[in-house]
Structure 1
């Protein structure tokens, strides 16, 4: 059976969860902490851009998906702001770890909500063929965005 948009998204969700867990366990002032944060920042940004283009946008166009897509977009914005906050803090100090915990909690909350609620709502709106087509488009854009962000 061909991959659906939800299979592709869940793969990135698992990566995000793992990076969050590892980041919170990392030692202050280490290269590992910086590398994990960079990896998480890139993963979140590439995933969000591709997901917004190839899942949220089509769902936003349907009355039934309006509220849930707006809510999901709002949470992406909150995550972006937490990442920006972290970039301005020193990763050696407690304030950074506190903000990293906040980011991790927001990411976990968003992924849970998306998988339990948004996927169900959007699943009623999208047809089977569209779900497969969106998976391909998402993957292409996600890969392109990762490359772009890694090069910056």
Structure 2
């Protein structure tokens, strides 16, 4: 498996969790559990992605700007997660922030898959794509 397939699999899980989360209402166990699962998935993914995808891309002039942009988007997503964490689950503002989070994450995932992956595919060798995937998956499996 190459790094792109590994990342896409996690992206699909994140999209599913986001879709489920914004369909919830009120301060329910389901909303709390979905948010907890999403927060963990996003944080773990961002950490591993920065180490095993963006870090190698920063070393290339062709991909440096895109890698830095992706990392900056991770920080924007972190801020929205923190905002959700500090908002009452039953507040109408919570769902508004959750929908904003969904839009930001989906924008980030789409941009990666349709722009960054194409450029990275030209910069990374086949063996790098495979070794990065293994390191990424090993990291994800230990979290």
CA distance in 2, matches of 1:143, 1:102: 29
Residue 81 of structure 1 corresponds to 79
Contact 1:28-1:91 at 8 Å conserved across structures:
yes
- Runs (5+) with no aligned partner, structure 1: 146-152
Residue 134 of structure 2 corresponds to 136
CA distance in 1, matches of 2:111, 2:129: 19
CA deviations on 1:57-103 (whole Å, 9 max, x unpaired) are: 00001111111001101100000000000000001110000000000
- Runs (5+) with no aligned partner, structure 2: none
Any residues of structure 2 matched to 1:2-151 within 5 Å, and which?
3-145=1-143
CA distance in 1, matches of 2:123, 2:32: 40
- The Cα of 1:8 is off from its aligned counterpart by 0.5
CA deviations on 1:112-138 (whole Å, 9 max, x unpaired) are: 000000101111110111101100000
TM (norm. structure 1) is 0.92
Contact 1:49-1:142 at 8 Å conserved across structures:
no
